Amino acid sequence: MAMVHTGGPDGVRLHVQRLGPEQGGPQQDRPGRGGPGRGGAAPTAVLLHGLLTDSLAAYYFTVGPGLAAAGVDVVMYDQRGHGRSERPAGRYRLEMFVGDLERLLDRLGIHGPVHLVGNCFGGTVAFSYAVRHPERVAGLSLIESEPATGAWAAKLDRLLGYAAAQLSEHESDALAWIDAHHGGHTARLARSAARLVRTTSIARDIPSSAVLDEGRIRSVRGPLLALYGADSDMAAQAPWLESLLPGTRTVIVPGHEHSVLVEVPALVLEHVLAHVLDHDRDGDRDGVREPGGRPGGRPRVAALAGLETAP
Amino acid sequence: MSTAKHTVPAPAAVDEETVFAEIAGMLRSMLDEYGLDDIEIAPESRFMEDLELESIDLVTLAGHLQARYGRQVNFAEFVAGLELDEIIDLSVGRLVEYVVGCLKAGEGS
């Protein structure tokens, strides 16, 4: 495990895991590399996890190793307050998370354009980063995610407000209920989430984040992949996002709700990997294997490829 | 947290008992750190249900495994090949089997 301090007034210590293309295994304390096309360097993908119950483990045990095995330089980190990263008492507006990504890439010496992959809130962070730094983004993959709009902030205000109220007043009852209905592991994740909500200002900060108007959303240049579970509330946004960014590739996964990353990782891997390889900006793919060509590739990938996806 | 060195040689004796003892030692130090020092570690213990570890703790364990066994044991890839239910039900014994298999394969090459 590597801890990286981002430095500066908003600096935090972030837990970073890197999987290298050379062996598809964890790389630790490796010096930073350039982005795609730098003297044959592999494309770099930065994977951003979701809010409260999430951590980099959501990628480490799903699409991370597959991306690395296919030749992608994979950077995963726990966002502030989450996983093994530092949990400051305050400063949890979206801008802080975007700033963490900026400074982390600087610290890792990654200056070329990167592919950003974001699950839920992680995609929201990735999108705002892409608006702020179009030159540093080679492509965006949003998994069950959306840009930060006024509607997004209002929804998060309701959800986080509800969670904070439930937890502060009835934490033990709420956790016992989750334990009984969703099993012990979910309850343990909820306990970590409860600690974050209880000991920090995250529930108040997220809804007061800087949001994007449609003009800013249209300004994103990187090619966009948007993946949704067909039965998730989020899927209804697909036509709206496509209308703003006509080049968007939308994939709807039938029979799933919000948790597509952990429920169908092979399918997510296949689409994200294809998106990364298609949009490796400088076209230098030395050493990059095509999807499905990984050694000892799991048959699951092929089996799930038959699933219908929307055009 | 010790930084992984990728050049650690595999143990001479590749048997389940030795590997279990080593992995149990890694888990013991993690549980002690979380104040869970009264939890028993057995081959049938499941990481999440019985040892009360979260998925992020398995990332820490992956680092320990790589530091001890080197590249021939790729815990991330092993877990990525499992279904979600299998990850939640993953036991210490199943991991020991996997590690022993990797080490034996390494010996044969």
Mean pLDDT of all residues belonging to chain A: 83
**A121 and A163 inside one domain:** no
d(C-alpha A84, C-alpha A104), whole Å: 15
Q: What is the mean pLDDT of residues A102-124?
A: 96
CA distance B98 to chain A (A): 16
CA distance A262 to chain B (A): 7
State the pLDDT at residue B100. 95
pLDDT band at A191 (very low <50, low <70, confident <90, very high): confident
pLDDT band at A302 (very low <50, low <70, confident <90, very high): very low
Residue A310 within any structural domain of the chain: no
pLDDT band at B54 (very low <50, low <70, confident <90, very high): confident
State the pLDDT at residue A295. 34
For the cut 80, the answer to whether the pLDDT of residue A60 exceeds it is: yes
Residue A311 within any structural domain of the chain: no
**A130 and A161 inside one domain:** no
ipTM exceeding 0.90, yes/no:
no
Mean pLDDT of all residues belonging to chain B: 85
Q: Please give the backbone phi and psi of residue A79, each rounded to the nearest 5 degrees, phi first.
A: -70, 160
State the pLDDT at residue A28. 41
For the cut 50, the answer to whether the pLDDT of residue A205 exceeds it is: yes
Name the percent of chain A lying above pLDDT 90: 63
Please tell me if residue A69 touches chain B, with a CB cutoff of 8 Å: yes
Domain end call among A208, A223, A240:
A208
Please tell me if residue B7 touches chain A, with a CB cutoff of 8 Å: no
Residue with the two structure tokens 């590597």: A2
CA A85, A20, B83, B89 torsion-angle sign: negative
| Cα-Cα end-to-end distance for chain B | 31
For the cut 70, the answer to whether the pLDDT of residue A180 exceeds it is: no
Please tell me if residue B52 touches chain A, with a CB cutoff of 8 Å: yes
DSSP alpha helix (H) spans, A221-264: 238-244, 260-263
Per DSSP, A271 falls in state H
What is the domain range of residue A75? 2-148+211-305
Domains of chain B: 16-108 (1.10.1200.10)
Please tell me if residue B71 touches chain A, with a CB cutoff of 8 Å: yes
**A77 and A225 inside one domain:** yes
State the pLDDT at residue A238. 94
pLDDT band at A193 (very low <50, low <70, confident <90, very high): confident
Sort strands A26-27 and A73-77 into parallel, antiparallel or unpaired: unpaired
Residue of B46, B56, B69, B98 to mutate for A, most A C-beta atoms under 10 A: B56
Note whether A27 and A54 are within 8 A (CB).
no
Q: Which CATH number does the domain housing residue A86 bear?
A: 3.40.50.1820
Nearest Cα residue in chain A from B63:
A1
**A294 is written with which tokens?**
């990984």
State the pLDDT at residue A306. 32
State the pLDDT at residue A287. 40
**A115 and A197 inside one domain:** no
Q: Please give the backbone phi and psi of residue A204, each rounded to the nearest 5 degrees, phi first.
A: -90, -35
Domain end call among A190, A208, A226:
A208
Q: Which has more pLDDT, A174 or A65?
A: A65
State the pLDDT at residue B79. 86
Q: What is the mean pLDDT of residues A222-247?
A: 93
State the pLDDT at residue A164. 83
**A285 and A183 inside one domain:** no
pLDDT band at A109 (very low <50, low <70, confident <90, very high): very high
Q: What is the mean pLDDT of residues B67-90?
A: 86
Q: A240-297 pLDDT, tens per residue?
A: 999 999 989 999 999 999 999 988 999 999 999 999 998 875 444 344 444 433 333 3
Number of structural domains, chain A? Answer: 2
Within 8 A by CB and 6+ apart from A127, the residues are A118, A140, A142, A145, A146, A147, A148, A212, A217, A220
